[in-house]
Amino acid sequence: MIIANIADFREAAQRRLPHFLFEYIDGGSYAEATLARNVSDLAALALRQRILVDVADIDLSAELFGQKLAMPVALAPIGLAGMNARRGEVQALRAAEAAGVPFTLSTVSVCPLREVAAAATKPFWFQLYMIQDRGFMRELLAQAREAQCPALVFTVDMAVPGSRYRDVRSGLAGAAGPLGRWERRSRRRVAAYVAVPSAERPHEHPVPGTGVGSDLCGTRPGPGTGRPGPGAHRRGRPALQRRGPDAGCPLARPLATPAARPGPPPGRDDR
């Protein structure tokens, strides 16, 4: 199809992505009332038209948090973006840099923070979910500081996670879905995980919550091997794979490693 506007991008995504991934991106919480209001409120805004003015030197740039932006726009954090395209967060970072706008990495990204930092040529922002485990929070913030993230996008609407009906219907969430299993295991393991020194944790990326999405899709390297861990097949059935050069990672099993990374339930955003 020919892409001409934002609505075309949505239609293209609906055609290309597996159903459960499109519903995760396109949907909101509960009856999606806030989502609908956000769309209608934005549509109600009108641009003021000016005529007979000099347009020889139009400048859309702005300064925010000490950064010069090509336009007053930033890429918002998207949980599990790496499941929609191979190394999706890195691709989004490069696109944002090319456009001269900030990229915001989600706490529940598939690409770990250090991988994104290695690909960055400009500072990027980091989105943080607040959880009760302050030791975990200190480790995560230390890694963001190491990556020299100049801005922290602090999510404060996670006190009570919203119920995303579309994700339940598509099989992504709910008691039997991979997000439901991830949430249950995270709650059980968070205390045990932070009690183990970082150097002894059997992960390529020692800090929980960064790159946590790859726990869901079975691409975490096996302990001490540097090779992909288990998750290519589950109970003898082929893993769900997308076709094409930018195919995302499979959602083949609940957690790929024996010690999962704790964190907030992905996708809590009813905007």
Cα–Cα distances in angstroms (integers) from residue 83 to residues 32, 33, 213, 214, 247, in the given order = 23, 27, 8, 9, 8
**Mind listing the pLDDT tens digit for each residue in 45-84?**
998 988 999 989 999 999 998 899 999 999 999 988 999 9
Range of the domain at 87: 14-31+61-158+165-238
**Mind listing the pLDDT tens digit for each residue in 187-238?**
444 334 334 444 444 433 333 344 545 444 444 433 443 433 333 333 333 3
Residue 271 domain-assigned? no
Cα–Cα distances in angstroms (integers) from residue 59 to residues 64, 103, 135, 157, in the given order = 15, 21, 45, 35
pLDDT of residue 156: 85
In the block, tokens 């400009």 appear at 122
User: Using CA of residue 218, residue 254, residue 197, residue 155, what is the dihedral sign?
Assistant: positive
Average pLDDT over residues 32-46: 95
Residue 40 domain-assigned? no
Residue 222: which CATH number?
Answer: 3.20.20.70
Residue among 185, 168, 229, 173 nearest 204 (CA): 229
pTM: 0.66
Residue 108 domain-assigned? yes
Residue 118 domain-assigned? yes
**Cβ atoms 229, 202 nearer than 8 A:** no
Helix runs in 48-177, H state only: 88-99, 113-119, 134-146, 165-170
Residue 2 domain-assigned? no
**Mind listing the pLDDT tens digit for each residue in 102-139?**
999 999 899 999 999 999 999 999 999 887 888 888 98
Look at the chain and report how many structural domains it folds into.
1
Helix runs in the chain, H state only: 6-16, 19-26, 33-44, 88-99, 113-119, 134-146, 165-170, 178-194, 213-217
Residue 258 domain-assigned? no
Average pLDDT over residues 79-96: 93
Strand, helix or coil for residue 212 = coil
Residue 7 domain-assigned? no
Query: Percent of the chain beyond pLDDT 90?
Result: 47
Residue 50 domain-assigned? no
